[in-house]
Each structure stands twice: as structure tokens, then as C-alpha cells.
């Protein structure tokens, strides 16, 4: 079942880039930008992460915590963060529990080949854990602007 605006955001337990436990419930009382992306250090994912990095001050001033989620490993996330100086948390969803809970693990196709992968999608969650916006068509270069509008 697809998640919709007004639904409670599914809680999850995974690990951040340092291997520390990470749960959505850790952010109760804060607004969260939970963004899902396919792969560290690829062109679209880098553009998206850099848009959030470059506008991080404005996102924080608007009260948002930013969490990026992909199925990449903690080590991959550490390299990605270091290479692009990313100031926010990246969740290592290596068991795919979070992408499946949010309905973003789906069949994709590229060059005529179908495969399972992460759909790029962003969920904006309010202080009470309710989804208040879902950005389905992410503009990777202007993603922060999409969130702040």
C-alpha cells in the first residue's frame, strides 16, 4: 500500500553512516526531510545531495532535519559524505527494510534491462510523525527549493 499525505510515517530502525542505530522516532518533535535516492556518488544523487548541502542552513532555519536513505553501506556513505562535505545524516538501509516500508523499492528499467532499485522520492514529515508532503518528481539540482516552497 502506497503512503499518502496525512499517513503516519513508518518508524524504522537502521544505521547511520557511522554504524550508530538510527530510528525515525529519534526525531519526534522535529520536522524531517526523509529523502530516498538510488546510489552514492552518481550524478543525479550527487546533484540532489549537493542541493541539500548548499541550502542546509535554510533547511535548518525552517526547522528541518535531513536524512538521506539508500541501500548503500555505511562505508560508501562515509566516502560520499567526505567527498562532498555533506552535513546531514545518511542511513545505510542495507537490509532494504526502510525502502520497503516507504514503498520506494521497486522495479526499474535502464537500457532495456529491468532490475529492482530505489525510486527517488522525498517525504516531508511533521513534528508529530505525519507525512505532510511527498515529492514524487524530484528535481535533483533544485531539491532544496522544492522542499522549502
pTM, to two decimals: 0.96
CATH T-level assignment (fold) for domain 13-148: Glutaredoxin (3.40.30)
Q: What is the pLDDT of residue 105?
A: 96
pLDDT digits (tens, 9 = 90+) for 99-111: 999 999 999 988 8
CA angle 20, 23, 21 (to 5 degrees): 15
Q: Where residue 62 falls among pLDDT bands split at 50, 70, 90?
A: very high
Per-residue pLDDT at 147 exceeds 80: yes
Q: Where residue 55 falls among pLDDT bands split at 50, 70, 90?
A: very high
Per-residue pLDDT at 122 exceeds 80: yes
pLDDT digits (tens, 9 = 90+) for 10-42: 999 999 999 999 999 999 999 999 999 999 999
The CA distance from 53 to 32, in Å, is 15
Where exactly are the structural domains of the chain? 13-148
Name the one residue in this structure whose C-alpha cell is 554504524.
Answer: 19
Contacts of 25 (CB under 8 A, 6+ apart): 11, 129
Q: For residues 130 and 24, is the Cβ–Cβ distance under 8 A? A: no
Q: For residues 93 and 69, is the Cβ–Cβ distance under 8 A? A: yes
Catalytic residue among 32, 33, 45, 92: 45
List strand residue ranges (DSSP E) for the chain, in order: 13-16, 21-23, 31-36, 64-70, 89-92, 105-110, 113-118, 121-125, 131-135
| 45 has catalytic annotation | yes
Sheet containing 64-70: which strands, arranged edge to edge?
Answer: 21-23, 13-16, 89-92, 64-70, 31-36, 121-125, 131-135
- Strands 131-135 and 31-36 turn out to be unpaired
Amino acid at each position: 500500500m502506497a503512503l499518502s499525505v496525512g499517513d503516519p510515517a513508518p518508524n524504522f530502525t537502521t544505521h547511520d553512516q557511522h554504524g550508530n542505530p538510527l530510528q525515525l522516532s529519534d526525531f519526534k518533535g522535529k520536522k524531517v526531510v526523509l529523502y530516498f535516492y538510488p546510489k552514492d556518488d552518481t550524478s543525479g544523487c550527487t546533484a540532489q545531495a549537493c542541493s541539500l548541502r548548499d541550502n542546509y542552513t535554510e533547511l535548518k532555519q525552517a526547522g528541518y532535519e535531513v536524512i538521506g536513505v539508500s541501500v548503500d553501506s555505511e562505508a560508501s556513505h562515509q566516502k560520499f559524505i567526505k567527498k562532498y562535505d555533506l552535513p546531514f545524516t545518511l542511513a545505510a538501509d542495507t537490509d532494504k527494510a526502510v525502502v520497503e516500508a516507504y514503498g520506494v523499492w521497486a522495479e526499474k528499467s535502464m537500457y532495456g534491462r529491468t532490475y529492482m532499485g530505489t525510486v527517488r522520492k522525498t517525504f516531508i514529515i511533521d513534528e508529530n510523525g505525519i507525512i505532510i508532503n511527498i515529492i514524487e518528481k524530484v528535481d535533483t539540482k533544485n531539491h532544496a527549493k522544492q522542499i522549502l516552497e
